Amino acid sequence: MAVQYAVAFSASTMGVGVVAGGPYNCAWVSLRGIATCMQGSPRGEAAYSAALGFAALGQIDAVSHIARQKVYLFSGTADAVVAPSVVEATHSFFRAAKVPEENLLYVNSLSAGHAFLSDQLGAACEANAAPFVNACEDAGQLYDQPGAILEHLHGPLKPEATTLSAEPIAFDQTEFTGAVASRMAKEGFVYIPQACRTGGCAVHVVFHGCLQSAAEVGDAVYSRLGYNHRADSNRVIVLYPQVARSGHIPYNPNGCWDWWGYSGLGFQTKRGPQLAAVHAMVQRLISAE
Quote the pLDDT of residue 250: 72
Whether residue 279 is contained in a domain is answered as yes
The residue segments making up the domain with residue 240 are: 157-289
The answer to whether residue 77 is domain-embedded is no
How far apart, in whole angstroms, are the C-alpha atoms of residue 230 and residue 111?
A: 24
How far is residue 9's CA from residue 96's CA, in Å, rounded to a whole number? 18
- The DSSP code for 243 is B
DSSP secondary structure code for residue 74 in this structure? E
Give a yes or no: residue 200 inside a domain.
yes
Identity at 153, one-letter amino acid code = L
pLDDT in tens, 105-142: 999 999 999 999 999 999 999 999 999 999 999 999 99
Positions of the chain with pLDDT lower than 70, given as ranges: 179-181, 249, 288-289
Residue 271 lies in a domain: yes
Give dist(CA 210, CA 217) in Å, integer: 11
Within-domain flag for 221? yes
pLDDT at 180: 59
Separation between Cα atoms, residue 146 and residue 236, nearest integer Å: 12
Closest Cα to residue 70, out of 146, 14, 5, 144? 14
Domain assignment present for residue 180? The answer is yes
Q: Give domain status of residue 268, yes or no.
A: yes
Q: How many domains does the chain have?
A: 1
Distances (CA, A) of 123 to 3, 18, 109, 128, 187: 26, 20, 18, 9, 26
